[in-house]
Chains A and B, each alone.
Chain A
């Protein structure tokens, strides 16, 4: 079962940073935080993952709180193509359960 909670939806202006929060208060010590996104009728796309340190790649940054109970995915300059459902998952790499995700609407 999914062990993360996310807001149902968020709006973001094109060109601005999108900050998507995720609560994973029951995360275990050996579980990573993963972020995927799904554009309509496609398979999920990997974005980023981390254990306890903040991570950054060409797509996004992941900020994990010191107690690891929550995290924030940051898309630094959102574009219209970033409109999608974003899923936050906590996993020890054995199974990946998806929660309901956040529908990010990037508006011009």
Chain B
């Protein structure tokens, strides 16, 4: 199946710093990418949807100025957690889908674990 890669896999940062997480589709053009966060023992929560070349659409309750999403190309989307605080510590997962809507599959990255000290 298609491959979606995230980097870094894990990151530790100090409170107040910003962290960027990259999500790449390695073998297909991702017209849409989704960003999720997951707290321990909980399900995935959709944060935002990004379409290549346009602004991301954020879910209710997700601060767009806190979680900056850029989808500048068909193979790369980035999530920047600005001025991170300990409560932002979480597992962040991206997913991507390609042009073909009949494929039906949403491909997920391996996830990035953020720990804010």
Binding site for B on A (CB under 8 A): 2, 32, 34, 36, 38, 41-46, 49, 87, 93, 95-101
Contact = CB atoms under 8 A, between A and B. Distances in A.
Contact of B101 (A93, A97, A100): A93
B75 interface: no
B105 A100 contact: no
Given A44-B93, A96-B106, 5 more contacts: A34-B104, A43-B109, A93-B97, A95-B46, A98-B45
Contacts of A97: 46
A87 B36 CA distance: 15
A2 B91 CA distance: 19
Given A49-B104, A93-B104, A96-B106, A43 B111 contact: yes
A96 B48 CA distance: 11
Contact of A98 (B44, B101, B110, B111): B44
Contacts of B4: 43
B105 A46 contact: yes
A100 B101 CA distance: 26
B110 A43 contact: yes
21 contacts: A34-B106, A38-B44, A41-B111, A41-B113, A42-B110, A43-B4, A43-B108, A43-B110, A44-B93, A44-B108, A46-B107, A49-B104, A87-B44, A93-B97, A93-B101, A93-B104, A95-B46, A96-B106, A98-B44, A100-B43, A101-B43
Nearest to B1: A46
Interface in B81-117: 91, 93, 95, 97, 101, 104-111, 113
B49 interface: yes
A100 to B, nearest CB: 5
